[in-house]
Amino acid sequence: MHSKDTGIFVMEKRALVILAPGAEEMETVISTDVLRRAKINVTLAGLDSAEPVICSRNVCIVPDMSLDDAVLRGPYDIVVLPGGLGGSKRLADSEKVKSVLISQESAGGFVAAVCAAPSALLSHGISKGKQITSHPCVKKELEASGQYSYSEARVVRDGTVITSRGPGSCFEFALAIVTALVGEEVAKEIAGPMMLPTV
């Protein structure tokens, strides 16, 4: 798209959010909503299909398309993994997700995971040696692997990997993604109308 102020061509940023059955619905919706407020083009992709997905609290979310179709429309600037124990296990067990994450990391793109979803990073061998955080329920697993430096911070960014702790930190998580992709000023602009503390 063109910037009206400068006339300079600006490449639109693109995010892929992978939605698995049993995902934490707050993490899925907050991440998608906040990124769209920042004018990031978000594709919400169903892990198994484009059919409605039942999340961890029985909220039903309809993805934009299947992950298979979304992959064909790549590449993406960031791949986002919402948590939820059931959803995270499906992400960790999925060969499709493994392929997407390996390709994303190989291309130098961002990867983000919240709550229990960092366990999928471990399962697929992604972001080894990085500092990360997670929900406490998967902390021991991540620490015991010896693959990461674990932090108790609410949101951690280490290079191209962004992780966070859970539903209560998800606005901060999403704003950290916005900052990484389009800058801190945009993150501040969208935080205000949502009545969030400025970043």
Residues with catalytic function? 115, 135
Quick one: which H or E segment has residue 172? helix 170-182
In sequence order, the β-bridge partners of residue 54 are 60
Quick one: which H or E segment has residue 174? helix 170-182
Q: What is the DSSP pairing of strand 65-66 with strand 41-46? A: parallel
Residue 183 CA to residue 187 CA, distance in Å, equals 7
* Residue 68, Cβ density class (10 Å: 0-12 exposed, 13-18 middle, ≥19 buried): middle
Q: Across the chain, which distance is largest between two alpha carbons, in Å?
A: 51
Place of tokens 């790549």: 74
Quick one: which H or E segment has residue 43? strand 41-46
Residue 22 CA to residue 176 CA, distance in Å, equals 24
